[in-house]
Amino acid sequence: MSSTSIGFTGGRTIRLLVQWVDWSSNQADPDSGTDSLTIYDSHGNVKATVTHAQMQKLAPGNYYYDYVTTAVTTQDDYVAVWKATIGDEPDVMEQPFTLLPL
């Protein structure tokens, strides 16, 4: 499995998206109150903790969060860690991205 990291200029708002599916690959909403998003920098520092109430729903199983970044003076790698339980099964999705200086 491979992953890609997308670069964004710091000091901007970036939209982080997630799509949850069940075991049959159908789009599915997380079990009530089980989804969260935590954003970490490359040093493991928590940059944001997001609850379900702060996320926006696009369609069943599809959510986004607009993360307002701070300006950075050096490039830094981040990871958005989405967690949810779907049909009593826990799931985790990691979304790496990079913040670039202006």
State how many domains the chain has: 1
Position 1 in a domain: no
Q: What is the mean pLDDT of each run of 10 residues along the chain (102 residues)?
A: 56 91 93 96 96 96 93 89 95 93 80
86: in domain: yes
CB contact at 8 A, 8 and 98:
yes
CATH at residue 29 = 2.60.40.1930
Question: Within a domain: residue 2?
Answer: no
Specify the pTM. 0.87
The residue segments making up the domain with residue 68 are 7-100
The reported pLDDT for the residue numbered 89 is 93
